[in-house]
Amino acid sequence: MADQATTVSNLADLKTIAGDAPDAQFSGDTPTARGSDTPLREQQLDAQGRAYATGRRKDATARVWIKPGKGTFTINGKDQAEYFARPTLRLVINQPFAITEREGQYDVICTVSGGGLSGQAGAVKHGISQALAKFEPALRSTVKAAGFLTRDPRVVERKKYGRAKARRSFQFSKR
């Protein structure tokens, strides 16, 4: 190569110098070379054909299993309308199915513990989103773009000594 004095002025010249043979690492198995419809991840199912995921929000933890079905929702052995009486909470837990257009296609069984009802609804939503991404890896980008795979890190601040609450001081008394 020392006897060849070639200069590269643009990328087209580089192609002629290096030759037209593609490198082994760029043989078409890179994520950008694949079709956009093929998932980059594998489907993760248990022995019963269900996808499992854990969702968390505030102090609540939800263990979620989804499987193909008629859309039944069981939370701690109760129906979703019975467990989450407020319609806004039911709307929150159905958001992953609405955004992926999969309403009524999966049965959901979950156990929730800790926190209040709002935190539990957020935990179930997080768990359903994770489980959907494991059951249908092609949906991961849709669910991730909506922000449902990210765990919300906000938690209640602890109470400090010398304070009435986390930040509130005791009432000042002049006399």
Is residue 108 a part of any domain in this protein?
yes
Q: Which two tokens stand for residue 68?
A: 């193909």
Is residue 149 a part of any domain in this protein?
no
Helix, strand, or coil (residue 158) = coil
pLDDT tens readout for residues 13-28: 656 666 555 554 444 4
**Contact of 115 with 123, CB cutoff 8 Å:** yes
Total tally of structural domains belonging to the chain: 1
Is residue 24 a part of any domain in this protein?
no
Among 10-24, 37-51, 58-72, whose mean pLDDT is lowest?
Answer: 10-24
Is residue 36 a part of any domain in this protein?
no
pLDDT of residue 33: 46
Is residue 22 a part of any domain in this protein?
no
**Beta-sheet strand order (sheet of 51-57):** 51-57, 60-68, 106-113, 73-75, 78-79
For residue 30, pLDDT beyond 50: no
Is residue 170 a part of any domain in this protein?
no
The pTM score is 0.74
pLDDT tens readout for residues 109-158: 999 999 999 999 999 999 999 999 999 999 999 999 999 999 999 999 99
Is residue 160 a part of any domain in this protein?
no
Q: How far apart are CA 102 and CA 106, in angstroms?
A: 7
Instruction: Provide the residue range defining the domain that includes 65.
Output: 51-141
Is residue 57 a part of any domain in this protein?
yes
Q: pLDDT-based confidence at 40, cuts 50/70/90? A: confident
Residues 6+ apart with CB under 8 A from 156: 58, 59, 166
CATH number of residue 102's parent domain: 3.30.230.10
